[in-house]
Amino acid sequence: MHKIELTSVQQPLLKAGALQDAIFNSANFSSIATDAQGVIQIFNVGAERMLGYKAEDVVDKITPAGISDAQELIVRAAALSLELDTPITPGFDALVFKASRGIEDIYELTYIRKDGSRFPAIVSVTALRDAQDKIIGYLLIGTDNTARKQVEAEQALLDQRLRDQQRLLQENNVELELAKAAAEKANLAKSEFLSSMSHELRTPLNAVLGFAQLMSSETPSPTPAQKLSIEQILQAGWYLLRLINEILDLSMIESGKVTMSLEAVSVADVLQDCQAMIEPQAHKRGIQMTFPRFDNLFYVHADRTRIKQVVINLLSNAIKYNREGGTVTVQCVMGAENRVRVSVTDTGAGLTPEQVTQLFQPFNRLGQETSAEEGTGIGLVVTKQLVELMGGVIGVESRVGVGSIFWADLPASGVPALVFGNSGETVADEPDQVAAHTSSPQRLLLYVEDNPANMALVEQLIARRSDLKLLTAIDGHLGIQLARAHQPDVILMDINLPGISGYGALKILREDPATAHIPVMAVSANAVPRDIARGMEAGFFRYLTKPIKVTEFMDALDVALHHAAQHGLSKPG
């Protein structure tokens, strides 16, 4: 407690001795003593700690009403006036009215600290009297009531939850159906959020990766230092995209929104595609890869895209966690219960039995968190769930110091009926050989896109093609007008456009005989599987997702141009 000169008013207040000193010097209680008019005379250590004032800030200067919530004092005065049937003035009188009449008074109020912050307190008020029983002041002893308020709030919340649970248990089947509908609505909201999140992340990534790909193929070629920097940008960008895809896949699986298109799929075709995609990664690590030679063709009943994702995940892990100069062996055999087993064997460090039991837990990297290898720990979780959604089983066998074998058993299928193309098209719709760009007559493209960075990226890509001319529109309405006026060979269409969406623009173009024949390709950051499926169902010729890969973009564009030419619809300029 700060030393202050004792006035003639303060001296009678301190004659109680050691007990009174202990109370006033306690840091756990705010002890505020006033004179008979309510002006603060003693302000103890506890009051300083709770309220942020020094004793000299308030002594002989203000009443306790000056550090209390003014509105609460008005409410208290009104309540006391009704209770005691006598008018009471808001302010200090409202704080000490009962105590001044010998009535025990403990109440709750809000104290206001020096910095303006507030906290709830419980205050006991006692009138201080001299030997002649005359009131010479008041003592207000307070405690911080924040913790109690929090406990009460938590208890109230718990009580409310218990009441809600009891009410839910008593509801009938109709109410349960309403709850189910609400849960489905929440899942739909989650899916919409995931789709939106995917779009918002992919849009800037499209610019980063697109322009990096452009720089890497500039003429003249970048300097070695520039090339190294560009490679770092591309590596980091594609890695970020892979993390986004993994998280979205896991969330979509958990929400039950993953769609599967099960059909007879050639394992040989899948492994050949995966080999082409994964071998460059293996060569960088000096890892030898061995793929099976198919004397007998195996077919599985699976989703073509998802089974490829499963194999790529297993191969990527086999390379990532292998030793330098190691090997990866892929095998495919007919297993038990009419299942085809695809296995991936590596020569890595292997796993302990305890690690194997934790292998398919999300975000568990089995002690690799501090290693140089990047990852989220959810790739295998997604892989396992995808295999199971296709009616299969996944497993692992591992020995420390020897390596691991990851295998997936999928339901076998018969040889599929002969089909032409992947989207109901005939083989004639695919180009046998695209003519050299420099010798082709100039063709007209229309790109509808509101994002300047994405627009600039495609403009630079098309500028490299002497056989192509580009028109651009920043919204769907302008795009429709340009399509009608200029009759482009192919239209590239963003989905999230101002005014009218890409879907709305596509519908108008399809319903207009003047533009119905023009192939329209979606180029969108809406990239979760249901977005792609919706786009294809709506009538887009192709659905390309951002960030775009330049080679895939150009290949799809050539297919669309060839489609238009094959149907005699293109009009070379």
Identify whether residues 18 and 141 lie together within a single domain.
yes
**DSSP three-state, residue 137:** strand
- 205 and 188 in a common domain: yes
Q: Would you say residue 54 lies in a domain? A: yes
CATH number at residue 518: 3.40.50.2300
> Is 191 inside any structural domain?
yes
State whether 299 and 403 are in the same domain.
yes
State the CATH number of the domain containing residue 145: 3.30.450.20
Q: Residue 330 falls within a domain, yes or no?
A: yes
Residue 3 lies in a domain: no
Q: What CATH number does residue 358 fall under?
A: 3.30.565.10
Q: Would residue 79 count as lying in a domain?
A: yes
Phi, psi (degrees; rounded to nearest 5) at 388:
-70, -35
Residues 250 and 268 in one domain: no
450 and 477 part of one domain: yes
**Residue where a domain terminates, one of 238, 254, 270:** 254
- How far apart CA 551 and CA 267 sit, in angstroms, is 25
Write down which residue in 228, 254, 280 finishes a domain. 254
Domains contained in the chain, number = 4
56-83 pLDDT tens trace? 999 999 999 999 999 999 999 999 999 8
Residues 431, 496: one domain?
Answer: yes
Residue 126 has which token pair?
A: 């006692």
- Are 269 and 406 in a shared domain? yes
Of the residues 379, 411, 443, the one at which a domain ends: 411
pLDDT digits (tens, 9 = 90+) for 295-344: 778 899 998 888 888 998 899 889 988 988 999 999 999 888 899 999 99
Region 536-543: what's the mean pLDDT?
94
Asked if residue 168 is part of any domain, the answer here is no
Long-range contacts of 536-541 (CB under 8 A, 24+ apart): 536/423, 538/503, 538/506, 538/507, 539/506, 539/510, 540/493, 540/506, 541/490
Q: What's the CA gap between 87 and 110, in Å, rounded?
A: 23
Question: What is the arithmetic mean of pLDDT over 353-381?
Answer: 64
Together in a domain, 307 and 387: yes
- Name the DSSP class of 34: E
pLDDT higher than 60, residue 399? yes
Global confidence as pTM: 0.43
Measured CA to CA, the distance from residue 312 to residue 80 in angstroms comes to 77
250 shares its domain with 270: no
> Distance between alpha carbon 537 and the CA centroid of its chain, in Å?
27
**Residues 244, 268 share a domain:** no
On whether both 485 and 512 belong to a single domain, the answer is yes
> Tens digit of pLDDT for each residue in 86-128?
898 888 999 999 999 888 889 899 999 999 999 999 999 999 9
**18: in domain:** yes
**pLDDT bucket at 492, cuts 50 / 70 / 90:** very high
Cα 523 to Cα 231, 381, 471, 545, distances in angstroms: 24, 30, 15, 6
Q: Which residues does 191 contact at the CB level (< 8 Å), separation at least 6?
A: 252, 255, 257, 528, 530
User: What's the pLDDT at 366?
Assistant: 53
The reported pLDDT for the residue numbered 472 is 92
Token pair in block for residue 87: 């008018």
Average pLDDT, the chain: 82
Does residue 73 sit within a domain?
yes
Convert the pLDDT of each residue in 436-475 to its tens digit: 444 456 899 999 998 888 888 888 889 888 889 999 998 9
Q: Which amino acid is at 396?
A: V
Q: State the first-to-last Cα distance of the chain, in angstroms, to the nearest integer.
A: 93
Residue 19: which pLDDT band, with cuts at 50, 70 and 90?
A: low
- φ/ψ of residue 105, rounded to 5: -140, 115
Can you give the residue range of the structural domain that contains 177? 173-254
Check whether residue 317 and residue 234 sit in a common domain.
no
User: Using an 8 Å Cβ cutoff, are 144 and 109 in contact?
Assistant: no
